[in-house]
Amino acid sequence: MHSVVETDEIISLRKIWSSLFKVSAPADEQFALWLFRHGANVMNAAMAELATKYQKLGGNMDENYMIRFASSVANRMSREN
């Protein structure tokens, strides 16, 4: 079970995802994993990079590729911090 704070952060990330992409948002477990490993600030920045990539490709990204890309960006950002 997710904590209340984590649940609020998941809801926030889901809203951001839905506002940026036409692709279905990942499962709550994916957002929870990202938050656990990287935190909300890193994930907000990772989604911003994902949005840039998504736009450059004209929205031609499937959900799995988007998850992998966001994870890769978040991993890189976490290593740099």
pLDDT over 70 (residue 58)? yes
Mean confidence (pLDDT) of the chain = 92
| The pLDDT value given to residue 4 | 52
Do residues 31 and 14 make contact, with C-beta atoms less than 8 angstroms apart?
A: yes
Nearest residue to 35 via CA among 65, 61, 3, 66: 3
Please report the pLDDT score of residue 3 as a whole number.
Answer: 62
Q: What is the pTM of this model?
A: 0.88
pLDDT at position 6: 74
Cβ pair 8, 26 in contact under 8 A? no
pLDDT value for 81: 77
Whole-number pLDDT of residue 54: 97
Q: Is pLDDT of 5 > 70? A: no
